[in-house]
A and B are shown apart, each in its own frame.
Chain A
Amino acid sequence: MTLLHHLTGAPPGMTTRALMLRLSTIGTVLAGAAGSLAYAGGWLSPGALTPALVIDRFEQVNGPHLGFRRNHAKGLCVAGSFASNGTGARLSKASVFSAGRVTRVAGRVALAGGQPYAADAGTTVRSLALRFPLPDGEEWRTGMNNIPVFPVRTPEAFYEQLLAAKPDPATGKPDPERMKAFFAAHPESVKATGLIKARTITSGFADSTFWSLNAFRFTAADGHVTPVRWAFVPELQATQETAAQASQTDKNYLFDDFVAQLQREPLRWHLIVTLGQTSDATADATLPWPADRERVDVGTLTLTDAAPEEAGNCRDINFDPLVLPEGIAPSGDPLLSARSAAYFRSSTRRAGEEKSASAVPATTTRGPGL
Chain B
Amino acid sequence: MTDPIGFNPPARLLHWSMAALILAMLLIGVAMVTSLADYHALVALHRPLGLLILLLAVLRLANRWRCPPPPLPSDLPAWQRRAAHASHIMLYGLMLAMPLVGWAMLSAARYPVALAGPLVLPPILPQSPMLYAWLRELHTVLAYTLFGIILTHLGAALLHVLIRQDGVFASMAPWRSRRPATTRRADA
Q: Which residues of A contact B (CB under 8 A)?
A: 8-11, 14, 19, 22-23, 25-26, 29-30, 33-34, 36-37, 40-42, 48-52, 54, 136-139, 155, 311-312, 316-318, 320, 322-323, 325-326, 330, 334, 336-338, 340-342, 344, 347-348, 350-352
Q: Do A36 and B112 touch (CB < 8 A)?
A: no
Q: How large is the interface on B (under 10, 10 to 19, 20 to 34, 35 or more residues)?
A: 35 or more
Report the Cα distance A147→B111, complex, angstroms. Answer: 27
Taking a contact as CB atoms under 8 Å apart, the answer to whether B40 and A330 are in contact is yes
How long is the Cα–Cα vector from A50 to B36 in the complex, in angstroms?
6
**Chain A residue contacts of B132, Cβ below 8 A:** 348, 351
Q: How far is the CA of A317 from the CA of B122 in the complex (A)?
A: 17
Binding site for A on B (CB under 8 A): 23, 26-28, 30-41, 43, 75-77, 109-112, 114, 117-118, 120-122, 127, 129-130, 132-134, 136-137, 147, 150-151, 154-155, 158-159, 162-166
Contact assessment for B121 and A137 in the assembled complex, using a CB-CB cutoff below 8 Å? yes
In the complex the two chains form, is B151's CB within 8 Å of A30's CB? yes
Tell me if A342 and B36 are in contact (CB < 8 A): yes
Residue of B whose beta carbon sits closest to that of A315: B129
Inter-chain contact A341/B39, CB cutoff 8 Å: yes
Tell me how far the C-beta of B29 lies from the nearest C-beta in chain A, rounded to whole angstroms: 9
User: From residue A153, how far is it (CB to closest CB) to chain B in Å?
Assistant: 13
Cβ contact within 8 Å between B40 and A26: no
Residues of B within 8 A of A30 (CB): 151, 154-155
- In the docked arrangement, what's the CA distance between A353 and B40, Å? 25
Decide if A10 touches B164 in the complex (CB within 8 Å). yes
A337 x B118 contact (CB < 8 A): no
Closest chain A CB from B151 CB (angstroms): 6
The residue of chain B having its C-beta at the shortest distance from the C-beta of A94 within the complex is B118
Distance in angstroms from A145 CB to nearest chain B CB is 19
Q: For B114, what are the chain A residues with a Cβ–Cβ distance below 8 Å?
A: 138, 323
CB-CB under 8 A from A138, the residues of chain B are 112, 114, 118, 120
| In the complex, chain B residues whose CB is within 8 Å of the CB of A316 | 109-110, 127, 129
Partner among A22, A347, A348 whose Cβ is within 8 Å of the Cβ of B162 = A22
In the complex, A342 Cα to B36 Cα: how many Å? 8
A137 to B115, CA, bound (A): 11
Q: Could you list 13 examples of A-B contacts with CB < 8 Å?
A: A8-B164, A9-B76, A10-B163, A23-B163, A37-B26, A41-B31, A42-B34, A54-B36, A317-B110, A337-B36, A341-B35, A341-B39, A351-B136
CA distance A39 to B102 in the complex (A): 23
By a CB distance below 8 angstroms, the chain B residues around A52 are 34
Indicate whether A337 sits within 8 Å of B31 (C-beta atoms), given known contacts A30-B151, A137-B121: no
* A137-B30 in contact (CB<8A): no
Nearest Cβ in chain B — how far from A155, in angstroms?
5
In the assembled complex, the Cα of A29 lies from the Cα of B41 at a distance in Å of 29
Whether A29 pairs with B158 at a CB distance below 8 angstroms is yes
Q: Distance (Å) between the CB of A322 and the closest chain B CB?
A: 5
**A29: which B residues are within 8 A, CB to CB?**
154-155, 158
Q: How far is the CB of A334 from chain B (nearest CB, A)?
A: 6
Q: Given A138-B120, A352-B133, A26–B30 Cβ distance below 8 Å?
A: no
Residues of B contacting A42 in the complex (Cβ-Cβ under 8 angstroms): 30-31, 34-35
B158 close to A37 (CB less than 8 A): no
Which residue of chain B has its CB nearest to the CB of A338? B36
Cβ-neighbour of B136 out of A14, A136, A348 (below 8 A): A348
